[in-house]
Amino acid sequence: MKLMKIQKILKRLLQLHPKSIDLSLGRIKRLLKDLNNPEKKITNAIQVVGTNGKHSFCSTLREIFETANYSVNMNISPSLRKFNERYYLAGKHISDDQLYELLIEVEKINRDQNITFHEFICACFFYAASKNKSDLNIIESGLFFRLDASNVLKKNIASVIMPIGIDHKDFLKKGTIDEIVYEKCSHLLYDSKIIISEQKNDVLKKILKNISNNSSEKSIFNRDYHFTKNTKSFYYKDKFGKMNLPLPNLSGDFQISNISTAIATARALKQFNISESHIKKAITRIRSEGRLQNITKGKLRKYISKNNQILIDGAHNSLAALAVAKYLRSLKKEKEIIMVLGMMKNKEHKKFIEIFKNKVNSIITLDIPNQVNFIKKEDLLKIAQSCGIPSKIEKSIESAFKNIAKKNDEAIIFCTGSLYFAGEILNLN
């Protein structure tokens, strides 16, 4: 019952502005002022920007600090399976009752004034976090950063730049990597700390140029910290020392890179007492759904053989595709890999799919259930076929799984293309 009421409120909020995204800070600042500026009460914040790896970074950092007995608030976007995932307050996700009361209260204060959905829900987090005092606030930026609703703080304890690549070109004038780096990095807060994750060399040069006048202390991957992977562990080193750490419970070498950035961030914040034992414990119990997630139980497994593997990843841009494709190459060569693909309209579909040529045996395209702005499976099929990969459409996720298993009861079923698609599959399961 409460869930239905929440859905009604969220539907109303979507009507408050004609655009889903309208990059500006005026509207959220107006609402925050009406809420008595809760963002000013949040001084222990870590702001996270980038194209990929933000969720894995945030989840790892949260786990490290909670293992060390610090309390954490966290705001992520988008949610994967349930809206509540966006608000993590003082050690747990917001309950349906709390979420309902929060949305109703802020909606009443907003008085039906013009504001985008993202701006409204960001304001809700600042309001809730100001009332749920925690030792740390981890805030994932939305689209870019300069004019994103998360960029309303005057002070933080760190800014983290995760891997940057091309995405959301339709919200930029030219859609170049220079524009994207500028939007994400040029307005990071001064007099703080900036931690830069592993980047492509040309992108790193652009980042360093954008933050060259920023007075924050900078920690850069491969200069100030790095890692080396072994068979059963990985070796981490920074200016504070070195550690031999167990492999995390997240698949893919790129996740070790994301985790190393979280470790570098935690160790840079000397006001907290984070030990090697805290880090060792934390990285073996990171919770991160929809990122190279292996589905070993649930409803969807009844449609397939016990020897079929279901692998889900919310990758939706070229940078993420390259990382995931590298992981697919590490799987058993004799196993057939069938990609089950659903994507949103505003993505670089061909660039994304081409990366998986010779990495997957075939593609099944699907519409994304319960979404509006997806690319139709028929159109996605044509693009996949133009990439030279055998492809077909299916009517549903269930039928796709059934037919794959019927054809090959040992195939790897690899579902990707969108976080929304990953979320729908996980909800079905």
Q: Please give the full DSSP string across 400-419, using - where no structure is assigned.
A: HHHHHHHH-TT-EEEEES-H
Contact 401, 300 (CB under 8 A): yes
Q: Which pTM was predicted?
A: 0.91
Q: How far is CA 168 from CA 24, 51, 253, 429, in A?
A: 16, 9, 25, 29
Residue 9: how many other CB atoms lie within 10 Å: 16
pLDDT, residue 190, reads 97
13 touches 106 (CB < 8 A): no
- Residue 229: count other Cβ atoms within 10 Å of its Cβ: 12
Domain with CATH 3.40.1190.10 in the chain: 2-283
Q: What is the pLDDT of residues 288-304, one digit of tens each?
A: 788 899 999 999 999 99
| CA–CA dist 340, 79 (Å, integer) | 21
For the chain, the average pLDDT equals 94
For the chain (429 residues), the mean pLDDT of every run of 10, in chain order, is 90 91 92 98 95 94 98 93 94 96 98 96 98 96 90 97 81 83 96 97 97 98 96 95 94 92 98 97 90 92 95 93 92 91 94 96 96 94 97 96 96 96 94
2-283, superfamily in CATH? Mur-like, catalytic domain (3.40.1190.10)
Residue 285 to residues 142, 175, 231, Cα–Cα distance (Å): 26, 38, 19
Q: What pLDDT sits at residue 253? A: 87
Tell me what pLDDT residue 170 has.
Answer: 65
196 strand-pairing partners: 161, 220
User: What are the residues facing 136 on neighbouring strands?
Assistant: 72
Taken in order 80, 83, 86, 90, the sign of the CA dihedral is negative
The dihedral formed by the CA atoms of 300, 305, 308 and 309, expressed in degrees to the nearest 10: 30
- CATH number among 1.20.140.10, 3.40.50.2000, 3.30.70.560, 3.90.190.20, domain 293-428: 3.90.190.20
Longest dimension (CA), the chain: 61
C-alpha distances out from residue 209 to 90, 165, 176, 214, Å: 37, 16, 16, 10
C-alpha to C-alpha distance for 335 and 240, rounded to whole angstroms: 43
Q: Are 138 and 62 in contact (CB under 8 A)?
A: yes
Domain with CATH 3.90.190.20 in the chain: 293-428
CA dist 258 and 59 (Å) reads: 10
